[in-house]
């Protein structure tokens, strides 16, 4: 196993959040609750990318931010009805989940001959 850093986003309602993340290509690969009436902790995956969602108040700050490098930026922009923004370093789509967590999807500009590379 290689080292990996996995973001954890604070959510209020897993049943509302999981379908939103499915639209971004994530699938739920596991869930945990200590008892049925306690908060949800969900494990999501998209290919080799992992993301955790937690209803536990102390697990993560509200309205977190993660930068997500993707190849299918156009498809994501279309799915969420967002415009692709042209930043100096590349192309981006800014998304906000139902709980205010932000995911900045981006694709870096390829170096060109004009850039001297």
Residue 2 belongs to some domain of the structure: no
Residue 1 belongs to some domain of the structure: no
The pLDDT score that the predictor gives to residue 1 is 67
The pLDDT score that the predictor gives to residue 112 is 52
Residue 18 belongs to some domain of the structure: yes
Question: Could you tell me where the beta strands, DSSP code E, fall in the chain?
Answer: 8-10, 27-32, 41-46, 49-54, 65-69, 85-87, 90-96, 102-108
Residues 29 and 37: their CA atoms lie apart, in Å, by 21
How many beta carbons lie within 10 A of that of residue 30, not counting itself? 10
Task: Count up the domains in the chain and report the number.
Answer: 1
Strands 41-46 and 27-32: antiparallel
The pLDDT score that the predictor gives to residue 115 is 47
Residues 15 and 40: their CA atoms lie apart, in Å, by 10
Asked if residues 86 and 51 have their Cβ atoms less than 8 Å apart, the reply is: no
Please report, in tens digits, the pLDDT of each residue of the chain (117 residues total): 688 999 999 999 999 999 999 999 999 999 999 999 999 999 999 999 999 999 999 899 899 999 999 999 999 999 999 999 999 999 999 999 999 999 999 997 665 555 444
Q: Is 76 helix (H, G, I), strand (E, B) or coil?
A: helix
CATH number at residue 29: 3.10.180.10
The pLDDT score that the predictor gives to residue 91 is 96
């Amino acid at each position: 196993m290689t080292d990996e850093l996995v973001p954890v986003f604070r959510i209020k309602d897993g049943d509302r959040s999981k379908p939103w993340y499915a639209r971004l290509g994530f699938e739920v690969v596991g869930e945990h609750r200590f008892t049925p009436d306690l908060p949800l902790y969900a494990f999501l995956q998209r290919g080799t990318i992992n993301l955790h969602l937690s209803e536990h108040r102390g697990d993560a700050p509200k309205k977190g931010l993660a930068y997500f490098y993707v190849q299918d930026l156009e498809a994501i922009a279309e799915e969420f009805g967002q415009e692709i923004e042209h930043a100096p370093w590349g192309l981006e789509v800014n998304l906000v989940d139902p709980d205010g967590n932000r995911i900045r999807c981006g694709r870096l500009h390829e170096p060109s001959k004009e850039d001297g590379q």
